[in-house]
Amino acid sequence: MFKKFTNGCVRVVNRWLPDPFLFAVILTVVVFVASMVGTQQGPVDLVNAWGNAKGFWGLLSFSMQMALVLVLGSAMASAKVCKKILGAIASIAKDKKSAILVTTFVSTVCCWLNWGFGLIAGALLAKEVARRVKDVDYPLLIASAYSGFVIWHAGLSGSIPLQMGAEGGTEILGVAYSAPITSTIFHPVNLGMVLVILILMPLINYAMHPDAAHTITVDPALLVEEEEKVYTIDTPAEKIEHSKILWVITLVLGFAYIIYYFATKGFNLDLNIVNMIFMFLGILLHGDLRKYVDAIGEAAGGAAGILLQFPFYAGIMGLMVAANPETGVSLASIIANFFTNISNNITFPMLTFLSAGIINFFVPSGGGQWAVQAPIVMPAATEMAIDYGRSAMAIAWGDQWTNMIQPFWALPALGVAGLSARNIMGYLVIVLLFTGVVACGGFLVWGLFF
């Protein structure tokens, strides 16, 4: 019965899911029409909300941060040392069961550490595993690698908890809100939900493995390893590019600031310091500034989807928050207020999580999600005397949850794997259902006992 349901999801997705960019365009049309109906605003006002500096171009700064997370994480994962580690891990997989279990577990841990690194490391690991286990279903293997992304916002690179944990917190409607990472990322319930997913999701992914007649094995052409680039060091310019002295000076400068940051500000992570850590770890692991420059150049292609689609999702965000000047009603407030109005102190975070999952489908960005929902959720949390950390993590979990059926963030991993979104999304519907149950239960426990 379970495999029949999974196969049905796979067939539906393969038939109906369009290209991710077209998906963003379709969502734009849907939100535009829904905003006109729900907020009673005219098309001219909504076109302005979609295309102005707060709409289409409203996420430029955040887009750069997100692109850097992806590019720096990818460049680090491509270092020879990291590849050897991935190869050693892949050697643990001896059959299709261990292939799915190992890939899911490792990618989940990596995504918790850093979502950009986890996305690429998971895909690279999946390809290494596919080289060793010939009868594993390749689309499911890549889906398993991507499924670890479902806990990224509960981890060390989660933008919402990092903003809340930054010095001075984050300002919402003129009010500063803050929560230390001990009440967000490192709260026992958050860690507990992550642990449950880390243990059970590999087993669920393996349970979806199709029988031999329906297994799709990897195209051998996708597994051809590119030859390592050989550098000539003859000219003065080439000697400077490969200078170990400049490499050491760069590392000393970077790690000196990182040490200074933690010494003066404690263990408060934000996106900028996370990016800085992975940049200088990447430089260290590549062992050469020229090699690192080339690695960044290769990794930058994975950010193409972010560069193209983020403006459209920023425009969708502009439509979601565009308020009728007379009533003050926006489409996002209609959705968020509905869940807020039917909740109490215990159910508020769980219902916030569900509403965040719906909104994330239209605004698949942690920063965008926060901008849309925080002005509604955080003042309500103040009024209901609910801990800010729990409320913020409810939004964060909702943001990561529906990424499983929102193809935007799968693009880099799919690029590495040589697949399309429709090849893996059917399996990820099952991951969505499982993690939704875990999160709902976790937030109820958080409300009842903490």
Cα–Cα separations (whole angstroms), residue 321 to 113, 235, 326, 379, 396: 31, 56, 14, 16, 18
CA atoms of 207 and 60, how far apart (whole Å):
41
DSSP string for residues in 381-438: HHHHT--HHHHHHHHHHHHHHGGGG-GGGGHHHHHHHT--HHHHHHHHHHHHHHHHHH
User: For position 341, what pLDDT does the model report?
Assistant: 82
Cβ proximity of 257 and 276 under 8 Å: yes
CA atoms of 269 and 162, how far apart (whole Å):
6
Q: How many structural domains comprise the chain?
A: 1
Q: Tokens standing for 26? A: 């379709």
- Total number of residues shown for the chain: 450
Nearest to 396 by CA among 189, 184, 193: 184
The 10 Å Cβ neighbour count of residue 411 is: 21
User: For position 225, what pLDDT does the model report?
Assistant: 65
The 10 Å Cβ neighbour count of residue 112 is: 24
Work out the burial of residue 219: count CB atoms within 10 Å of its CB; fewer than 13 is exposed, 13-18 middle, 19 or more buried: exposed
Q: Which residues fall within 8 angstroms of residue 230, CB to CB, at 6 or more apart?
A: none
Nearest to 51 by CA among 305, 310, 366, 314: 314
| Predicted TM-score of the model (pTM) | 0.81
**H/E run at residue 239:** helix 236-241
Q: Which residues fall within 8 angstroms of residue 142, CB to CB, at 6 or more apart?
A: 123, 126, 413, 414, 417, 419, 423, 424
CA atoms of 181 and 167, how far apart (whole Å):
12
Q: Tens-of-pLDDT digits for all 450 residues of the chain?
A: 666 777 777 777 677 667 777 878 888 999 999 999 999 999 999 999 999 888 888 878 777 877 887 788 778 878 888 888 888 999 999 999 999 999 999 999 999 988 877 887 888 899 889 989 989 999 999 999 999 999 999 998 888 998 898 878 888 777 889 999 999 999 999 999 999 999 999 999 999 999 888 888 887 666 666 667 778 888 888 888 889 999 999 999 999 999 999 898 877 666 688 789 889 999 999 999 999 999 998 888 877 777 888 788 888 878 887 889 888 888 877 887 787 788 888 899 999 999 999 888 877 777 767 877 888 888 888 888 899 999 999 999 999 999 998 766 777 677 767 787 888 989 999 999 999 999 999 999 998 887
User: For position 6, what pLDDT does the model report?
Assistant: 78
Q: What is the DSSP letter of 149?
A: G
Nearest to 141 by CA among 112, 101, 91: 101
Q: What's the one-letter identity of residue 136?
A: V
Cβ proximity of 30 and 358 under 8 Å: no
Based on its alpha-carbon atoms, the radius of gyration of the chain, rounded to whole angstroms, reads: 22
User: For position 34, what pLDDT does the model report?
Assistant: 92
Range of the domain at 268: 2-449
Q: What is the DSSP letter of 42?
A: -
